[in-house]
Structure 1
Amino acid sequence: MDHPHRDRPPILAVANLGKSYAEGLQRRTVLADIDFTVDRGECIALIGQSGSGKSTLLNLLAGIDKPDTGDVEIMGRSIAAMGEPELTLLRRAHIGFIYQFFNLIPTLTLAENIGLPLELNRTPARERRERVGDWLARVGLDGREAAFPDELSGGEQQRVAIARALIHDPALVLADEPTGNLDARTGQVVLDLLAHLFRDEGRTLILVTHSRKVSAIADRILALDNGRLTTASEALSW
């Protein structure tokens, strides 16, 4: 895949990242000496066995958790020294999230769920309605604005979650097992949608997955083994 923006700073730069947690009187190292960059328009698959540190790394990249060592830069801005208000604004403006269990708000309609990032960013109501309608059409749910999440299948809910993650045009999207809660056929539909939206539109995605099929859409695979990055070929069986 060509990356026309390689002359710009990377979307994401991770340097010497480390994280450990207390377990009784000991400390357990979850991540150590993590270094990598992600260019604009890249799709990165992050693989590894359960407990290898994938979710911890994703939380550190989003500023949800703080590292013990190292730093994360998003669009050239270090997040290590940011307070929670500044981190919240950064996430609202520049990061989109896709979760395994969708995380839609059950009391909100599809239009309200998808439009939530725009509302938080104070996008005018008319523009919000237009963009929500456009995204519903793009994920194959045109005309379902007034439906509620419990009226949808799992695959349809995940398509709504993808629209919500992308509607504010974030610089970086973090996806945690986006097909992990779906059957094989429905997961393939969601995977095809993700591949189209990211590969064809040049968006930047970090994708945590256990699935070889899902990781196959990526430009590059990063593998975690006992808290350290390794090449995909050296990763433990997954």
Structure 2
Amino acid sequence: MVDTGSANRRDDRTPVLAVAGIGKSYAEGKQRRTVLADIGFEVARGECVALVGQSGSGKSTLLNLLAGIDKPDTGDVEIMGRSIAAMGEPELTLLRREHIGFIYQFFNLIPTLTVAENLALPLELNRIPSAVRRQRIGDWLAKVGLDGREGAFPDELSGGEQQRVAIARAIIHEPALVLADEPTGNLDGRTGNVVLQLLAHLFRDQGRTLILVTHSRAVSEVADRILALDNGRLTHDTEALSW
């Protein structure tokens, strides 16, 4: 008899994200510039990790590698136990569509679509039935404090409201991993703090795994762990409270 309980426990212990020895360099004229060197770490289910570092430290490059948008020169990235090194673009596209959510600094909402239509996109791509789509959209608008705004267009919303929609869009299809690139970087301090607290609350409530790229110490303080990059190398990996 198969011990399904044991199988589930093993699945629960599998890191959502495992990075092993990845490196990346780019050609600059006749030379090559190393952007990342021998980066390795794991992120557990439900963990929020802040990725910090100065401009040019390699944060954005690392985020692109984690998403499979770019490929490392060395090493590998595993998402939910699956190596993405050998995946072709169709398989990577499907992986991102089903298991990864994205939150951007500049919201990236489609301006010609309403709030509800923006939220429906990832659900439609994943072939979620229309009745379920309507229910989820209503539920998520309530969670981010935008009840009744489903018919509004992005330019009718404030920056903070647009980022709330972007957060809901990133989680509405229930991905295992969400990658956020400076999610409060385009907001004023007060609005950014409101959005930050909402983001932290939603991820802890949902048990989603979040990688948060930031320059802000205030943003990093909501994380469980801090990963610090300096000149393409991981220099610090610690619990947030001791950072």
Match of 1:40 among 35, 42, 45: 45
RMSD: 1.4
Q: Distance in 2 between matches of 1:24 and 1:129?
A: 52
Instruction: Give 1:177's aligned residue.
Output: 182
The TM-score with structure 1 as length reference comes to: 0.94
Q: Superposition pairs for residues 1-238 of structure 1, below 5 Å?
A: 8-231=13-236
Q: Which secondary structure does the structure 2 equivalent of 1:70 belong to?
A: strand
Moved over 3 A (4+): 4-7
How much does 1:200 deviate?
3.0
* SS of alignment partner, residue 231 of structure 1: strand
Q: 1:45 & 1:65 partners in 2: Cα distance?
A: 21
CA distance in 2, matches of 1:232, 1:210: 16
Q: Equivalent residue for 2:3?
A: none
C-alpha separation in 2, matches of 1:124 and 1:151: 28
Which is richer in helix?
A: 2
1:127 is displaced (CA, Å) by 1.0
The Cα of 1:153 is off from its aligned counterpart by: 0.4
Structure 2 residue runs without a partner (length 5+): 1-8, 239-243
Equivalent pairs counted in the alignment come to: 230
How high is the TM-score relative to the length of structure 2? 0.92
Matched residue SS, 1:72: strand
**How far is the alpha carbon of 1:6 from its aligned partner?**
8.8
Partners in 1 of 2:99 and 2:89 — Cα distance?
15
Flag the 1:7–1:149 CA change in 2: closer, same or farther, 3 A.
Answer: closer
The structure-2 alpha-carbon separation of the partners of 1:7 and 1:92, relative to structure 1 and needing over 3 Å to count, comes to closer
CA distance in 1, matches of 2:221, 2:11: 22
